[in-house]
Amino acid sequence: MVREQIAARGVRSELVLNAMRQVPREAFLPERMHEFAYDDTPLPIQEGQTISQPYIVAYMVEALGLSGGEKVLEIGAGSGYAAAVLARIAGEVYTIECIENLAESALSALIKIGSDNVQVIHADGTLGWQQEAPYDAIVVTAGGPRIPESLKKQLKISGCMVIPVGTQEHAQELVRVTRLSETDFNTEELVSVRFVPLVGEEGWGCS
């Protein structure tokens, strides 16, 4: 998977490639989906959500520019798979999930594979997690109509956030935001993507 679906498509970071090699994707899937674990496609999990395709996980993690040991905030734990990949690179990972059942199953899967530097939080991810801010990097794994101001404020200066943004709930541009100073941010569009909607106060609204 890593050689043919990720490295061959342009992901170059050895930290990211090694992390992808180390995390068993099937550990984050329902048993009936295990045979598809290494297909390069999103797959359904519970609560109408999906686990992202491996290439997109690798692409987004590489876009953060991590060098190792950072404090990272993830919005949208989902299955826990991306948090497990981040945990192989970062020093601390805080991942927020607004659906309680998903938060519980993600935590269980992370514990089973030994990702003990990840904290799973059941909360509104669009508001971030002020208790541990600021963060070296923030990654958002659901698409919002705009970049949440709460998340921008929780980035360290020189910190980077990667987030899908778009005015349609299932079609976005992946955007990288770099904090230049207390008030200045640089924003660049990376690639077109399709993510589930970012639900919350600074997203598509609470369900």
**What tokens does 119 get?**
């904290």
**What tokens does 8 get?**
């061959």
- Residue 56 covered by a domain: yes
The model's pTM is 0.94
- Residue 205 covered by a domain: no
CATH number of the domain to which 33 belongs:
3.40.50.150
User: Residues 115-142: what's their mean pLDDT?
Assistant: 96
What is the number of structural domains in the chain?
Answer: 1
Cα separation, 175 vs 182, in Å, equals 20
Cα separation, 159 vs 88, in Å, equals 19
- Residue 24 covered by a domain: yes
Question: What pLDDT digit, counting tens, does each position of 140-174 carry?
Answer: 999 999 999 999 999 999 999 999 999 876 789 99
- Residue 201 covered by a domain: no
- Residue 207 covered by a domain: no
Catalytic annotation, residues? 52
- Residue 200 covered by a domain: no
Domain that holds residue 43: 2-193
- Residue 8 covered by a domain: yes
